[in-house]
Structure 1
């Protein structure tokens, strides 16, 4: 079967290809690995009870991610029980949440193996599990931090950043655990674990903000992950991009002004190139149509041979009307 030679099919194929490519290239990615935390101790599992409980836990968490952005459950009995949690960023749809969470069981097994506790954080979601009796840690304990390598030029950045942080601290409490906003070219986000109360959430985010102020200094971006909450901030000297921050804003392992805008400029360049190719291709296809136009003897009916296109007289207004017909499969090749 050779490459399709029919101009109409080429047009339809090209429209599908460019539309699909554009959507794929602009689709946000919430599945970038941020960090992993794996216990040093592995299962002692001679009868496979832990493995069965863990498999059931993963299945339950993934299935719930189609309905909610936070879920906590326990599988197994007694000493063989395992408690697990998943949470998605508050701005993800159910579909995006499921796409993110469904990758975590495989990643957890690949990155941590059969350990008695593991936590895998992606840019849009995380999953945590612990066996019964695993030691608990403070909700304020830091798990991961990153600060951008670029520092803000000029004076006033830290004051604007701290004002944005203050707005976020209040917003995450009043919005019950998740808040995102922009302030004078700054994009800030904060989120607490789904079962944390408003008061404790505010304290956790405040602690994360203090760490960001001290440890990131004048860096234009950063992410701070504590056990029960995280914050993220990014500064855009030319203004926050339309639609907010990229998917990495929820906690990518690195973030900077230059890398963020490099991606945007690349996207614009691709769009311009695709637009130019589409225009040229459309012109070529129109010329191919014109070559195949034939005129019937009475001079009133024009048809495009074999392509399912028909010009016919318009009796009410004069001129011609273009009819488009479905093609038989044999006409496409």
Structure 2
């Protein structure tokens, strides 16, 4: 029986160890949402001998940044008359409030650094963007292409484009029912779409449809792509080994993939606990059988 006394502590250690096992990392590390995607700067700068434009712009930036702690979209105007400046920010729908603030708070400095004192500017990061326009700036169509990028690697064969287009089709409907933001995945293709917060569901659906068509034509069989129109954007990525779970730090209830990721992590933890319990019970059974064997030998003597 001395053998079983010693393994008792080993048994306890094994049970505790297995029960605290972390599941395999279903969630990929969060993409750096503060990475610069593109900038758009007007060629025309404003003359500001009295500093009135600078004051209005500074006040606008301050208002936008302060609002980013509690909302993902905000539009405001600073100043009055011909010196007024209108601007807005928007965060990606799956960012938390703290991540949204962290993203937006970088934009005023970046805007000044990248564009200077232009009459209009737009700076897009992976997780958010900000734009402003001085009063009287010529408006552009919401469908105008601002920026696109396509992955350098192509996916040859395997029905990739058909799967991507199916995912896009779901996205076009989902972004309407999701009121401006939607993500989904279909057979290893992950897609995301978002519209500017001040446009209606119908216009949003039309904008995303246009963005999707551009992505299909201009990116072809590229493994990934992003298309930014003035009022919306879409992105897609193909994962040969299946779409990884979204990091919990960047997931939100508005993202279908976030719920599946959370479920996967909980399942993994449950499996680890079950595995630990099974291992402990199994070892205990072996120990009892060994004790029984010793007792039987003792009786035989």
- TM tier, smaller: 0.7 to 0.9
CA contact (8 A) 1:187 1:244 kept: no
Is residue 115 of structure 1 aligned with residue 118 of structure 2? yes
Is residue 180 of structure 1 aligned with residue 183 of structure 2? yes
Paired residue for 2:43?
40
Pick the aligned partner of 1:158 from 137, 156, 161. 161
Paired residue for 1:106?
109
What are the equivalent positions in structure 2 for 1:60-79 lying under 5 Å apart? 60-79=63-82
Paired residue for 2:152?
149
Is residue 198 of structure 1 aligned with residue 201 of structure 2? yes
User: Which is bigger in relative contact order (C-alpha 8 A, separation at least 6)?
Assistant: 2
CA contact (8 A) 2:30 2:249 kept: no
Residues 200 and 124 (structure 1 numbering): CA distance in 2 closer, same or farther, change over 3 Å?
A: same
Paired residue for 2:216?
213
Q: Please, which runs of 5 or more residues in structure 1 have no aligned partner?
A: 1-24, 248-333
TM-score of the superposition, structure 1-length normalised? 0.65
Shift of 1:237: 1.0
Paired residue for 1:58?
61
Pick the aligned partner of 1:237 from 240, 244, 254. 240
Residues 244 and 224 (structure 1 numbering): CA distance in 2 closer, same or farther, change over 3 Å?
A: farther
Residues 205 and 27 (structure 1 numbering): CA distance in 2 closer, same or farther, change over 3 Å?
A: closer
Q: How many residues are aligned here?
A: 223
Structure 1 runs of 4+ with >6 Å offset: 244-247
Q: Please, which runs of 5 or more residues in structure 2 have no aligned partner?
A: 1-27, 251-301
Q: Per-residue displacement from partner, 1:93-143 (whole Å, max 9, x unpaired)?
A: 000000000000000000000111000000000000000010000000000
Distance 2:117 2:186 in 1: 44
Paired residue for 1:286?
none
Is residue 223 of structure 1 aligned with residue 230 of structure 2? no
Paired residue for 1:254?
none
Shift of 1:43: 1.1
Any idea what SS the aligned residue of 2:162 has? helix
**Aligned-CA RMSD value:** 1.7
TM-score of the superposition, structure 2-length normalised? 0.72
Shift of 1:239: 0.4
Distance 1:184 1:27 in 2: 21
